[in-house]
Amino acid sequence: MFTKVGITLACLAAVSIATPIRAENPQHVQRLLNTGECSGCNLTGANLKEIRVLGADLRNANLEGANLTGANLEGADLTGANLKNANLTAAYLTNATLDRANLTDANLSAARLYNAETFGAILNGINIQNAEVYGSGISAGGDY
């Protein structure tokens, strides 16, 4: 009997690990798509791949773990947003405001960050490999 219980628990654990957890609020995703305004929205883990929301208001939005690959967020206001573990590969962030945003472990590889504001942003562990970064507070360090 214990073997059956153990096997059942192991199977359930494997399924729960393999199943992605989606916590975003679908109404918030729709609001962002329709209006470009989603201040304070819960977009945790949302698939926003290649979304085009120029000038969007995403202040204090929770985008933790969101897929923003190839997203066009030019001029977006992401002040205070949580972008921890977000995938921003090849995203366009020209003139975006990321002041006080949490970008811990965010993937910004191949992203374009021209004149992005990052005052007070948390940049621990970000990946900016092959990113185009100009006029912003983000750098790889070293001599220029």
Name the token pair of 110: 């191949």
Say if CB 96 and CB 111 are below 8 A apart.
no
Query: Does 1 map to a domain?
Result: no
What pLDDT, in 10s, does the model give residues 49-78?
999 999 999 999 999 999 999 999 999 999
Is residue 10 a part of any domain in this protein? Answer: no
Q: Is 16 part of a structural domain of the chain? A: no
Q: What CATH number did the domain enclosing 108 receive?
A: 2.160.20.80
* Residue 79: inside a domain: yes
Domain of 101? Answer: 24-144
Total domains present in the chain: 1
Cβ 66 vs Cβ 88: under 8 Å: no
- Residues 6 or more apart whose CB falls under 8 angstroms from that of 6 comprise none
Query: Does residue 82 lie within any of the structural domains?
Result: yes
Handedness of CA 45, 50, 53, 56 (dihedral sign): positive
Reading the block at residue 105, the tokens are 């472990």
pLDDT in tens, the chain (144 residues): 545 544 444 444 444 443 344 567 899 999 999 999 999 999 999 999 999 999 999 999 999 999 999 999 999 999 999 999 999 999 999 999 999 999 999 999 999 999 999 999 999 999 999 999 999 877 655 443
DSSP assignment of 21-83: P----HHHHHHHHHHSB-TT-B-TT-B-TT-B-TT-B-TT-B-TT-B-TT-B-TT-B-TT-B-
Residue 129 domain-assigned? yes
Structure tokens at 74: 């030019």
Predicted TM-score of the model (pTM): 0.81
